[in-house]
Amino acid sequence: MESWGKIVAGVVLGVAGTVYATNEDVRKRLPKLARDLPENVRHRFENAVSAAREASTRRREEILRDLEAHEAHTDRLARQAREAATATRADDQVPKVTESTEEGSA
């Protein structure tokens, strides 16, 4: 039963850390409330906040990498389409060579 208490405390602190990291109003009001908390709870809370910020930063970087990869892929496809269209237009503009026979009038 003791392990469930630790799990619940960890979840509560994790959620609180996430809320703290993302909500400016909470960050302004919380320091007054945090002074009354025991040292170990405050330390866990600070760790949770730090972990939430780090996870947020990593996720943001991951999203930006995905977007850059998607844009590069899209640019490559667009470039290939343009090249294909240019090649098609170039083929259409090439003058057709026809054989002409000159028959002299005698």
Task: Kindly report the pTM of this predicted structure.
Answer: 0.38
User: Are the beta carbons of 36 and 70 closer than 8 angstroms?
Assistant: no
The confidence score (pLDDT) of residue 35 equals: 61
- With helix as H, strand as E and coil as C, how does the chain read? CHHHHHHHHHHHHHHHHHHHHHCHHHHHHHHHHHCCCCHHHHHHHHHHHHHHHHHHHHHHHHHHHHHHHHHHHHHHHHHHHHHHHHHHHHHHHCCCCCCCCCCCCC
Q: Determine the pLDDT at residue 54.
A: 92
* Sequential pLDDT tens for the chain (106 residues): 567 878 888 888 888 778 777 877 777 776 666 666 677 787 888 899 899 999 999 999 999 998 888 887 777 777 877 787 777 665 555 555 555 555 555 5
Domain positions in the chain: 2-88
| 81 vs 75: CA distance, rounded Å | 10
